């Protein structure tokens, strides 16, 4: 994403440490490390690069960071990147979790939306991953709500 490397290097230059909590598998560690280093990201080492070794739940890894650091913010493309509050089964529960945490968005939670894929898909499809591409397209469109400014 444009500006990501510059922003994270700015954080590092001011004494901050950047942790990468990702659900990439351990088998992809070398490639992930190589790519991040080639792009110039800071703190690319075994302490700061935290891949999925046993669970997709990122909470244990967030807690491990919090043992020794004050966390200034979370950045991610998925609500589960921020808090276990968002490990929900359906859209209504996700909406309620967003409402509960809305004051944190733009301050502690920095969302980098990924409309291509994510945890949201299973909720939109109501777990029906076997649906055809056309059915999935219709399910996605049926869940869209056009924003209307307050009058």
The Cα–Cα gap between 140 and 143 comes to: 5
Fold of 4-117: Rossmann fold (3.40.50)
| 139 Ramachandran zone, left/alpha/beta (phi>0; psi -120 to 50) | alpha
pLDDT tens, residue by residue, 98-130? 999 999 999 999 998 777 777 788 888 988 999
pLDDT confidence of residue 12:
97
pLDDT confidence of residue 135:
94
The Cα–Cα gap between 17 and 29 comes to: 19
Residue closest to 122 by CA, chosen among 97, 86, 148: 86
pLDDT confidence of residue 15:
97
The Cα–Cα gap between 61 and 23 comes to: 11
pLDDT tens, residue by residue, 44-97? 999 999 999 899 899 999 999 999 999 999 999 989 999 999 998 888 999 999
Token pair for residue 25?
Answer: 């598998």
Q: Kindly report the pTM of this predicted structure.
A: 0.80
């Amino acid at each position: 994403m444009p500006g990501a490397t510059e922003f994270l290097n700015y954080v590092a230059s001011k004494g901050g440490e950047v942790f990468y909590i990702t659900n990439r598998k351990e088998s992809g560690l070398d490639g992930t490390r190589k790519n991040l280093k080639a792009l110039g990201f800071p703190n690319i080492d075994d302490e700061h690069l935290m891949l999925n070794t046993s669970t997709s739940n990122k909470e244990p890894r967030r807690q491990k960071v919090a043992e020794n650091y004050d966390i200034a913010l979370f950045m991610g493309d998925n609500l589960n990147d921020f808090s276990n509050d968002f490990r929900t089964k359906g859209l209504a529960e996700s909406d309620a979790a967003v409402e509960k945490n809305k004051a944190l968005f733009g301050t502690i939670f920095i969302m980098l939306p990924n409309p291509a894929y994510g945890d949201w898909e299973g909720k939109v499809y109501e777990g029906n991953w076997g649906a055809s591409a056309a059915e999935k397209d219709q399910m996605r469109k049926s869940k869209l709500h056009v924003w209307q400014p307050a009058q």
